[in-house]
Every structure is written in C-alpha cells, then in structure tokens.
Amino acid sequence: MKNRLPVILALVGAGLVLPPLILDSTWNATLSLALIYALMGLSVVVLTGFVGQLSLMPATFVGIGAYASGRLVTNLATPFWGAVPLAAAVVVPFALVIGMIALRLKGLYLAIMTLVFANVVEQFLFTQDWFVGKQHVVDAPRPHLGGIDFASDKSYYVLVYVAVAAVLLLTWNLSRSRTARACYAVRDNEDAAQAWGINVAKYKLLAFALSGLIAGFAGALYGHWLEAVSTGGQRPLFGLEFSLTIVFFTIVGGVRSIWGPVLGAAVWVVLVKRLLAGSPDGVNIAISIFGAVVLLTMLYRPAGLIAWIGDAWRRLRRPRAQVAAGEA
C-alpha cells in the first residue's frame, strides 16, 4: 500500500486538476454530473453491496436531498455549505423508516416494498406544494467562496470532485473496518451472522442510514448542479425510472466495489447522456445495448465490469504464473 501511495495521489491530483485545465465547461459539467451519479450509485453499494439489502428507491432519497437543499438555500436562507450537509441529514430519517420496515422483510419483499414506496413518493410527496414549493421548481443556486463563483462549471467540478473523493475515501475506509466485516457477514448469511452474535438489526439500520446520507448528499450536489430542480416533465424527475437507472449502472459497474458505481456512472453519463446525444437514434440503441451488456454481465460475471478491470489490473501487476492463484 505504501509504495502505491504516490501513484494514487498523483492520479487523484490529476483528476482534480486536469479537467478544469484542459477540458471545456460543458465537459466539466458532464464529468461533475458523472461524479454525482457515482455517488448515487455508492448509496446503492452501501446498502446492497455491503449488507445485501435490495432497495430499488435510491432516486427517492436523492430527490429528497435535492429539494431539501434547494429549499433550504432559497426559502430558509441557509448558506450552501450548511444546506448540503443538512439536506443529506434530512434524508436519514426517511431512510431509517424504510430500514425499520426492512428489518421485517427479506430480500424479495423488501425489493417490492421499495418499488412501491418509490412509486408512492413520486406521486405523492414530490407533488405537494409544501415540499416542492408552489411553483414546482426549486431554485438551487451555487455559492460564492472568497473570489470563487461556483456557478462556473469548472469551479463546481472541483467542488464536486473534492466532495465525492472525500465520501469515496471515507466509504473505502469504512469498507475495510470491522463494521464492514460484520455487514458482509449479514449479507452473506443473515441467520449465521445472527447465530454468531452479530446484531443484524443494528447493521441493517446503519446501512440504511449511511445509504440515505450518501444519497441525500448526492441529491443536494445534483440539485445545485441543475441550479433549478423541477418536479419533472410528463413523468416525475426522481421517479422509478431514475431509481432503476441508478441500480442498473451500479450493478453493471459492480455492486460490491465502491469503484463500481464510478465506472458505471462514467459509462452512463459520458457515453449515453453526452457522446450519443448528438445523434438522432444513438440513445435508443445505447439503452438496448446497455441492457444486453447487463444481461451478459449477470450471466457471466455477476461481480460487474469492475471485476474485469480488476482482473486486468492484477494481470498487469503480477507475473502470469501468479495470476491463476490470484484469481481464486
């Protein structure tokens, strides 16, 4: 680990500094969007990858965070730097409610429950005037700090990068802690974990709380990326489609790795939303191919695309003879 540190720091630094320097505003906006989506996917990883709770409503938590942050800044005159963490915190009670319900439900039923809840919240909560404001669009302005105006895409990219990197780092750290090991035990065999004396309920609730926190944080950053959070067009903005999209690209990337959503979001945002947006039929075809890719991934490499990359990385670093042993 020690001798890799300079390399890692260099890569992190490059990610921070290069896009604002060499790419244009639109690409900076695209990459910051990809990072925000990665954070949304991370909330799925924490819940599903770490503790095995299948929740199909990440976008709901993201939405609550987005609207909350916008309303805090616009209507309650909260500075951005306080509004974003607060908005993330606001989501936690919601997540805990779902978590407490999850305690009584197993796998499949939890998935359905979250599906139905996502449907209900999108139709009910996100259409209420007291929540989304009378005009159904919530302004979410970007802050100033010293001389920096974060309304500029490049500055906002730096802000998002730092925020996402921090969250990823904390989560990575967490993923190697004893808490995480307990979570993995719960994920792999809940009854056995219970038998070993692990407080299953505590870890499940913890996972929901953390997942909600991350999703809310991502939502707040998302809201301020948009600068005006609406309730959507003909379909709600933070509805089922968005939730399933997040789950989708996270699985493709790899749901057990914190880098999985980074990869998945990069593919989804950069490829589908950006590169294909210039062609009349690109997106349709891309979605079908994406679906097919997911199918193949599920059939042949359920660990996700990140596993392919992980293998390639390991192959690069170790001599061939050790690869077979390392692949176990």
Partner 1 sequence: MMLAATFSGKLFAQDLLNGVSLGAVFALLGLGVVLIYKSSGVLNFAHGSMAMFSTYVYFQLTQSFHGMPVVVAAAIAVGIGAVIGAASYLGVFRRMQDAGLLAKVIASLAVAGVLQGGAAFLWRNASQARVPQQFPESSLRIGGVGLGWQEVGTIAITVFAGLALIMILRRTTFGIALRATAQNRTAARLLGVRETRVATTSWAIGGALAALAGVLVIPLAVLTVYSMIGYMVRGFVAAVVGGFVSLPAALAGGFVLGAAQESLKATPVEQLSSVFAGLAIAVLLLTRVERFFALDQELRALQELG
Partner 2 sequence: MTTSARRFRFLASATVLCFALSSCALFQRERVAIRSSSLETLPPTPLTAGGTTPASPGATSGPSVVFQPGTSHLLGGKPNYVSDDGVTADTIRIGTIQPMDGPAAQLGRPLYRATQAYVNDLNARGGINGRRVELYLQTACINCEDENKLAAKALVEEKHVFAIVNTYMNTYAFSSALTYLNSKRVPLIQGWSGVGPDNLTWGAQQTPWNVYYTIRNADGVYVFARWLQAALTHWNADGKLPSGCAQHPYQVGEVYLDSSQDQRRADEFERVWRSFGAGYKVTSKQAVAAEEETVTRMDSYVSAMQDSGACGAFSASNITMVFGMQAAKRQGWIVPWVAKSAWGRAATDNCGSACNGGFTDNNGWGWPQIETPQMQQYHRVMARYYPDSTDDAQTLGGWIGMMAFEYAASRLGADLKREPLMKILTGLNGFVTGIGATINSSRSDHLAMSQTMMLQICGNRFYRVSNWLGANTAPPSNIASPCKWGEP
Binding part of the chain for partner 1, among 23-31, 97-105, 135-143, 259-267 by CB under 8 A, reads 97-105
State how far the Cα of 288 lies from the Cα of 141, in Å rounded to an integer: 36
Nearer to partner 1, 195 or 321 (CB): 195
Nearer to partner 1, 300 or 320 (CB): 300
Q: Can residue 82 be called a binding residue for partner 2 (CB under 8 A)?
A: yes
State how far the Cα of 244 lies from the Cα of 115, in Å rounded to an integer: 9
Q: Can residue 279 be called a binding residue for partner 1 (CB under 8 A)?
A: no
User: x/- binding map, residues 228-267, to partner 1, per CB under 8 A?
Assistant: -------x----xx--x--xx--x---x------------
State how far the Cα of 69 lies from the Cα of 87, in Å rounded to an integer: 5
Binding part of the chain for partner 2, among 106-114, 170-178, 204-212, 254-262 by CB under 8 A, reads 170-178
Q: Is 229 helix (H, G, I), strand (E, B) or coil?
A: strand
Nearer to partner 2, 161 or 225 (CB): 225
Cα torsion angle, 273, 275, 281, 285, sign: negative
Q: Can residue 15 be called a binding residue for partner 2 (CB under 8 A)?
A: no
State how far the Cα of 80 lies from the Cα of 128, in Å rounded to an integer: 24
Whose CA is closest to 160, among 138, 137, 143? 143
CB-count burial class (<10 Å; 0-12, 13-18, 19+) for 194: middle
Residue 106's region, left for phi above 0, alpha for psi from -120 to 50, else beta, is beta
Nearer to partner 2, 199 or 230 (CB): 230
Nearer to partner 2, 211 or 231 (CB): 231
Q: Can residue 176 be called a binding residue for partner 2 (CB under 8 A)?
A: yes
317: Cβ contacts below 8 Å, ≥ 6 apart: none
Nearer to partner 2, 169 or 296 (CB): 169
CB of 5 to partner 1, least distance (A): 34
Residue 107's binding partner out of partner 2, partner 1, none, with CB under 5 to 8 Å set by partner kind: partner 1
Which stretches of 76-135 are DSSP H helices?
Answer: 80-102, 107-124, 129-132
Q: Can residue 270 be called a binding residue for partner 2 (CB under 8 A)?
A: no
State how far the Cα of 101 lies from the Cα of 106, in Å rounded to an integer: 10
Binding site for partner 2 (CB under 8 A): 24-26, 29-30, 33, 73-74, 77-83, 85-86, 135-137, 139, 141-144, 151, 153, 166, 169-170, 173, 176-178, 222, 225-237, 241, 273-274, 276-284, 287
